[in-house]
Amino acid sequence: MNKTSSSENKRNPAAHLRLVLWRANKAIERMEHAHLQSLGLGLSDFAILEVLLHKGGLEGGLPVNVIGEKVLLTSGSITTAIQRLEEKGWVTREKSDGDRRVVCVVLTDAGRELIEALFAKHLRRLEEIASVLTDQERVLLIGLLKKLGHHAGFRGDHDARGPERHMR
């Protein structure tokens, strides 16, 4: 690291923190993406299947909009991704028993078998990535990132109200 960037980091620790977080996230995403591609799946498809595995229950699945919120996809993107997964025979779309206007996505047996196997491999890969940290460091990092995320979320909600709201 050169002197300029080192002194910049000291003058702007918040900007440096953001840069370090961004770079770490990008490095992990690249590793994750390459690993999932080697398994024949994209990030969004994997995320949808994983959410259905862990949050979708055995029978009823999850509404399309709930899946989109959980995996951070827009309504158009989630619809396209679910169509792709449906074409592969890994999910089905069904009307909700409680509200016929709601469409739920359910894992098929083939989809459940696939994501269970892929998730086990994925978990081993994540463990490899995190192996550089001790258990204590992991707990500390998780706590600090949650603290930062909650604060940023609160500030984001507060700031989104606009300057006129701050003057009241």
Q: Taking 80 as the threshold, does the pLDDT of residue 2 lie above it? A: no
In which band, very low, low, confident or very high, does the pLDDT at 5 lie, cut at 50, 70 and 90? Answer: low
Mean pLDDT of 33-54: 90
∠ CA 123-76-111 to the nearest 5 degrees? Answer: 40
Fold held by 42-111: Arc Repressor Mutant, subunit A (1.10.10)
| Residue spans of beta strands (DSSP E) within the chain | 62-63, 91-95, 103-107
Q: How confident is the model at residue 156, as a pLDDT?
A: 56
pLDDT digits 0-9 by tens, 62-101? 999 999 999 999 999 999 999 999 999 999 999 888 888 8
Place of tokens 């990092």: 141
- Domain range list for the chain: 1-38, 42-111
Q: How confident is the model at residue 47, as a pLDDT?
A: 95
pTM score, whole prediction: 0.75
Whole-number average pLDDT of the chain: 86
Is residue 81 within 8 A of residue 114, CB to CB? The reply is no
Element (H, E) at 96: none
Q: What are the angstrom distances between the C-alpha of 71 and each of 12, 48, 52, 55, 144?
A: 32, 7, 11, 12, 22
pLDDT digits 0-9 by tens, 123-153? 998 899 999 999 999 999 999 999 999 998 8
Q: How many helices (H) and strands (E) does the chain have?
A: 8, 3
DSSP class of 74: -
Q: Taking 80 as the threshold, does the pLDDT of residue 158 lie above it? A: no
